[in-house]
A and B are shown apart, each in its own frame.
Chain A
Amino acid sequence: MYELDWSSIPGALPFLWAGMKVTLKITATAMLAGIAWGTLLAVMRFSSNRLLSWFAAGYVNLFRSIPLIMVLLWFFLIVPAFLEGLFNTPRSSDTRLTSALVAFALFQAAYYAEIIRAGIQSVPSGQASASLALGMTYGQAMRLVILPQAFRNMTPLLLTQTVILFQDTCLVHVSALADFFGVAYKVGDRDGRLVELLLFAGAVYFAVSYLASFLVKRYQGRLAT
């Protein structure tokens, strides 16, 4: 039977914390940028301009049908070289973090957009008619009347999606970026204690996600009353 030995974890805690900060940074950036871009996409889908609504639908469907790993590989392996070729810039040092941030933001935006679209649809259409009757433009009605109500309804879903995003960030492993999981893996590999470090990483992800989901559920309960 395998003897578990946790002794390499205490010494590695500062590195693991540094990795956790990278994980949280990717999560927060992708959440904010993703919700902003996702809102735009959702509004575009309701636009009367065919080109805009087609673009938004195509974007969302494309990103939702490719694995996240493929999107990350595109942004790690292909896009930086493409941009360098396009602008004739010299090979820059380390674009992996930037690539990861952009990839996650663009990918998550597709998922956020679907949630936001459902949120907008859940606002009774009388609200839009009333705003237009009051003389608001379409943009004003969206911004001042519909989106605030939609966001109130869908906050729990957006937060749940963010917990999923937090878990998905460990896929930056494909670029060997030192996020929390990446650090845990490297420390385990270095000390020959991969078993303990992987179990530890799993426990930490579990604790954070479980707590976050629990808080979201409580918040949802408060919204409902």
Chain B
Amino acid sequence: MSYQWRWGVFLDPVPSSGATYLGWMLTGLQTTVQLSLTAWLIALVVGSLMGVLRTVPSRWLRGIATVYVEVFRNVPLLVQLFIWYFVVPELLPVSVGTAVKQLHPFLQQFLAAMVCLGLFTGARVCEQVRAGIESLSKGQKSAGLALGFTLSQTYRHVLVPMAFRIVVPPLTSEFLNIFKNSAVASTIGLLELAAMGRQLVDYTAQPYESFISVTVLYVLVNVVIMAFMRWVEGRTRVPGYIGGGR
């Protein structure tokens, strides 16, 4: 094979701009991290709320949460992303839809991807939180109520804090997944890490270096998160319980 390896390519300047290809790649990584973290916030908030609703006595509230989980788990992520990006702005009231379409393209892509990833992952977080709450013994809830707590106080002070500590290990894998899933945002043109890798191939004609670097960066992100989450798991472990989940 006559492939010319040239790792120095990353230090070359990008034509008609001051950046280097290395700079491009780091910008992509930065977008990936920003997207994943903001989406993770949405996922945690929505997922916890829906997870609690999945276990409350009211049939209506449980029904809403069930529909949410089933819809967001049974439609592929890519289809959801395209719906958020292409369909939702059309279905919004005209004034809002036009306002969205007048945003900077990067912002449009980022917002669609963030909401999409957040709600998609939220459905999975919801199921973990529900499993965590259901894994608690019935006595915890009864004791809370017997002490004179209202139902919402029981959830707030007794059930949810316990459930959260139990579901940290399964949430770790969801946290890892959101980083991997963020690569799907490249399909609507968001220049995150995977998209930058593709663009590097087009610009530099050094496909191996570009793809190997991007792949290594994803693996590195994975390793860093795993180390961080192991630390969190150690801090939050409840003595006497082994990780909840299904």
A residues whose Cβ falls under 8 Å from a Cβ of B: 1-2, 62, 65-70, 73-74, 77-78, 81, 85-86, 167-168, 170-171, 173-174, 181, 185, 194-195, 198-199, 201-202, 205-206, 209-210, 213
Given A1-B94, A86-B1, A167-B77, verify A67-B87 contact (CB < 8 Å).
no
Q: How far is the CA of A188 from the CA of B223 in the complex (A)?
A: 41
Question: Complex Cα distance A30/B78, Å?
Answer: 19
- Of the candidates A62, A73, A74, A181, the one whose C-beta lies within 8 Å of that of B78 is A181
Closest to B78 in A: A170
Enumerate 28 A-B pairs (CB-CB under 8 Å) in ascending A order. A1-B94, A2-B90, A65-B219, A66-B215, A66-B218, A67-B180, A68-B180, A69-B187, A69-B194, A70-B183, A70-B194, A77-B198, A77-B211, A78-B207, A85-B3, A86-B1, A167-B77, A168-B76, A170-B76, A170-B79, A171-B184, A171-B187, A181-B76, A195-B87, A201-B79, A205-B74, A205-B79, A209-B75
Partner among B74, B184, B201 whose Cβ is within 8 Å of the Cβ of A206: B74
Interface of B is mostly: helix
For window 62-96 of B, CB contacts with A under 8 Å fall at 70-71, 73-80, 82-83, 86-87, 90-91, 93-94
Give Cα A14–Cα B88 distance, bound, in whole angstroms. 27
10 new A-B contacts at CB < 8 Å, known A2-B97, A201-B79? A65-B176, A65-B218, A66-B218, A69-B194, A77-B201, A174-B186, A199-B87, A205-B74, A206-B74, A209-B75
- Whether A62 contacts B76 in the complex (CB less than 8 A), given A73-B211, A198-B82, A198-B86, comes out as no
CA of A174 to CA of B197, assembled, Å: 13
Residue among A70, A78, A210 making CB contact with B218, cutoff 8 Å: A70
Cross-chain contact B82 with A185 (CB below 8 angstroms): yes
Given A67-B218, A86-B1, A170-B79, are A194 and B183 neighbors across the interface (CB < 8 Å)? no
Asked if B208 is at the interface of the complex by the 8 Å CB criterion, the answer is yes
On chain A, the residues within 8 Å of B83 by CB distance are: 198-199, 202
Which of the residues B75, B86, B214 comes within 8 Å of A195, measured between beta carbons?
B86
B55 at interface (Cβ–Cβ under 8 A)? no
Among B70, B75, B218, find the residue whose CB has the most chain A CB atoms closer than 10 A.
Answer: B75
Q: How far is the CA of A177 from the CA of B225 in the complex (A)?
A: 34
Contacts of A181 in B (CB 8 A): 76, 78-79
CA A209 – CA B187 in complex, angstroms? 22
Pair B219/A2 contact, Cβ less than 8 Å: no
A195:B91 contact, CB within 8 angstroms: yes
A1 engages B93 (CB within 8 Å): yes
Cβ of B222 < 8 Å from any Cβ of A?
yes
SS class of chain A's interface: helix, strand, loop or mixed? helix
* A198/B87 contact (C-beta < 8 A), A73-B211, A78-B208 known: yes
Q: Quick one: closest A residue to B88, CB to CB?
A: A195
- For A199, list chain B residues within 8 Å (CB): 83, 87
- Measured CB to CB, the closest approach of chain A to B154, in angstroms, equals 30
In the bound complex, how far is the Cα of B75 from the Cα of A201, in angstroms? 9
Task: Kindly provide the distance from the CB of A200 to the nearest chain B CB, expressed in whole angstroms.
Answer: 10
What residues of chain A lie closer than 8 Å to B197, measured between beta carbons? Answer: 70, 73
What separation, in Å, do the CA atoms of A210 and B93 have in the docked complex?
31
In the assembled complex, the Cα of A210 lies from the Cα of B172 at a distance in Å of 26
Pairwise interchain contact B91-A2, C-beta atoms closer than 8 A: yes
Give the distance in Å from the alpha carbon of A168 to the alpha carbon of B219 in the complex. 20
Q: Which residue of A lies closest to B71 (CB)?
A: A206
Residue picked from A70, A171, A201, most chain B C-beta under 10 Å: A70
